[in-house]
Amino acid sequence: MRVTQFDTRDPYSYATGLGNHETEALKGALPIGHNSPQKAPYGLYAEKISGTAFTAPRAENKQAWVYRVLPSCAHSAFEPLDDDVNPGTTDAAQPNLLPEFHLVPNQTRWDPFDLVPGVDWVRGLRLLAGAGDPATKTGVAYYVYTASQSMGADTAFYSADGDFLIVPQTGALDIETEMGRLFVRPMEICVIPRGIRYRVSLHEGVPVRGYILELFQGHFSLPELGPIGSNCLANERDFQVPVASYRVQQTKDAAADDDRRCLLQAKFGGRLFQATQKHTPFDVAAWHGTYYPFKYDLGRFNTIGTISYDHPDPSIYTVLTATTNAHPGTAVADLVIFPPRWLVGEDTFRPPSYHRNVMSEFMGLIAGDYIAKGGGKGGFQPAGASLHNVMSSHGPDAGAFEKATNETLVPDKVGQGSMAFMFESCYMMGVTDWGLKACQKVQEHYSEESWDGLKIYFDPCGRPRGE
Ligand SMILES: [Fe+2]
């Protein structure tokens, strides 16, 4: 699978790669050799968006210059977002965004999360787990998202708290951002950086569901390849970046068009706020820089594995990483995937071994079955999830162990039609009230059902099993 064969065609064009980009939807809208000319072309305003401190090292520095109809500061005061703006929501359908976490050592697994009716992208966010605090720019948050309706045509959203790494499981996301449009389907992932304004529509009204990792600190980048060399894993050329696209202004004097004031919704410190503005936020005619949204087709991942024996660490499946500067190789968060791949290890227990790690592991399943777990009702299912926290022991369930230790070892293509992923983090993950109780998806007997069936085969006389 070099490229995913999607059911739904992507209607947009993209630039490729993760370096500096420049793009204009109107010829000549991008000043040449200048960021802030006295008068920007076409009467546009120049505006800078910084994603790192001004003085961050050049290799890490992320910023963009956008050229837009009105600066983004031209909006009313923010007010807390209340239910009046979204009639029809109920208490059970409230967003859950405050980072208030319970630390529990148990292995935890969730049945597939429900599609919530009557909510858009913003109202459908549910905080499941996380660590840290957006106010101090430390840690991460994991969400389940669902939406059964598009955001309003003149509504935009941004998170001041962190970058959103979006992993769709059901339905295509049609995302209009300040910097252009993205079409993101299951088997693709998308990153929308902190502060970038966007609007999510459902393609042909099909409800959507998936997972989000919000990164409170730093940004994602490609992992180092070390001895692998200059290619493989996720190749930089396969990342797709939107090209500038702006809406046509309805009237020259937008203030006279008050009935069409746009809504600007913000997530700030885990709370939602709303302001209005007289002009659409999607008014950027040109931009350049290194701070922008992007997407990636997981089908393009070039998977590495053993061709001799033993089971390598899953770090070989890392798509994106956000590193801690304090400890090289230790990630705030990694996105790891388990794509279709050949297993050929000789005299090898081929599923993941039993383990407990210093890192926490949150897993989700986009489609299909996962090699180390049984699927079906009560198992690890698409749209479900699991959390194996810091030093929480886990591994193949009893059935997967029996199969893996008794099967004849021949080259085997596993994971066909399947895609599991993992958010791996150096932080101890807490789970929210919603994740532990309100969602009603926790599998109460996950541990017993998985590992109570493991038999004791130990024989101090060293006789082979089964004799
Ligand atoms: Fe694990």
Q: Domains along the chain?
A: 14-94+115-246+258-297 (2.60.120.10), 302-452 (2.60.120.10)
Please tell me the distance from the alpha carbon of residue 240 to that of residue 214, in angstroms, as a whole number: 20
**354 C-alpha to ligand 1 centroid (Å):** 8
- Which of 21, 311, 388, 445 is the catalytic position? 311
Determine the Cα angle at 43 with ends 258 and 241, to 5°.
Answer: 90
pLDDT in tens, 25-66: 999 999 999 999 999 999 999 999 999 999 999 999 999 999
Q: Which residues contact 60 (CB under 8 A, 6 or more apart)?
A: 52, 219
Q: What is the mean pLDDT of residues 54-82?
A: 94
pLDDT of 462 reads 85
Place of tokens 């099967």: 407
Q: Do strands 262-268 and 155-159 pair parallel, antiparallel, or not at all (unpaired)?
A: parallel
Q: What is the mean pLDDT of residues 318-340?
A: 93
pLDDT(135) > 50: yes
pLDDT of 84 reads 45
Query: Is 449 annotated for ligand binding?
Result: no
pLDDT of 260 reads 66
pLDDT of 85 reads 40
Q: Which residues contact 277 (CB under 8 A, 6 or more apart)?
A: 70, 74, 75, 76, 261, 262, 264
Q: Minimal CA–CA distance to 97: which of 177, 160, 166, 175?
A: 160
Please tell me the distance from the alpha carbon of residue 418 to that of residue 365, in angstroms, as a whole number: 8
**220 C-alpha to ligand 1 centroid (Å):** 22
Please tell me the distance from the alpha carbon of residue 395 to that of residue 397, in angstroms, as a whole number: 6
pLDDT in tens, 219-237: 999 999 999 999 999 999 9
3-state secondary structure of 131: strand
pLDDT(257) > 80: no
Query: Is 24 annotated for ligand binding?
Result: no
Please tell me the distance from the alpha carbon of residue 311 to that of residue 196, in angstroms, as a whole number: 40
**394 C-alpha to ligand 1 centroid (Å):** 6
**360 C-alpha to ligand 1 centroid (Å):** 8
How far lies 365's CA from each of 38, 155, 231, 329, in Å?
Answer: 52, 31, 27, 25
How far lies 249's CA from each of 73, 189, 246, in Å?
Answer: 18, 31, 9
Q: Do strands 360-367 and 385-388 pair parallel, antiparallel, or not at all (unpaired)?
A: antiparallel
Q: Is 311 a catalytic residue?
A: yes
Query: Is 445 annotated for ligand binding?
Result: no
Q: How far is CA 27 from the centre of its chain?
A: 33
What is the chain's Cα-based Rg?
A: 23
3-state secondary structure of 99: coil
Please tell me the distance from the alpha carbon of residue 287 to that of residue 208, in angstroms, as a whole number: 30
pLDDT of 83 reads 55
Please tell me the distance from the alpha carbon of residue 74 to that of residue 283, in angstroms, as a whole number: 13
Please tell me the distance from the alpha carbon of residue 75 to that of residue 15, in angstroms, as a whole number: 31
pLDDT in tens, 84-114: 444 444 444 556 688 789 999 999 999 999 9
pLDDT(434) > 60: yes
Q: Check if the beta carbon of residue 188 is closer than 8 Å to that of residue 234.
A: no
Backbone φ and ψ for 238, nearest 5 degrees, come out as: -90, -5
pLDDT(438) > 80: yes
Place of tokens 């007010």: 79
pLDDT of 374 reads 60
On average, the pLDDT of the chain sits at 92
Q: Check if the beta carbon of residue 404 is closer than 8 Å to that of residue 350.
A: yes
pLDDT(205) > 60: yes
Q: Which two tokens stand for residue 388?
A: 């194996």
Q: Give the least confident one: 290-304, 364-378, 444-458.
A: 364-378
Listing DSSP states for 5-70 in one string gives --SS-----EEESSS-EEEESSTT-SPSS-SS-SS-GGGPEEEEEESS-TTS-TTT--EEEEEESS
Q: How much is the pTM?
A: 0.94
Q: Which two tokens stand for residue 199?
A: 């609007």
pLDDT of 89 reads 40
Query: Is 388 annotated for ligand binding?
Result: no
Listing DSSP states for 192-230 in one string gives E-TT--EEEEEGGG--EEEEEEEESSS--BPPP-GGG-S
**420 C-alpha to ligand 1 centroid (Å):** 12
What single letter denotes the amino acid at residue 355?
Answer: H
The dihedral sign for the CA sequence 434, 435, 441, 442:
negative
**373 C-alpha to ligand 1 centroid (Å):** 11
Which letter does DSSP use for residue 89 in this model?
-
Q: CA end-to-end span of the chain, whole Å?
A: 43
Please tell me the distance from the alpha carbon of residue 246 to that of residue 450, in angstroms, as a whole number: 52
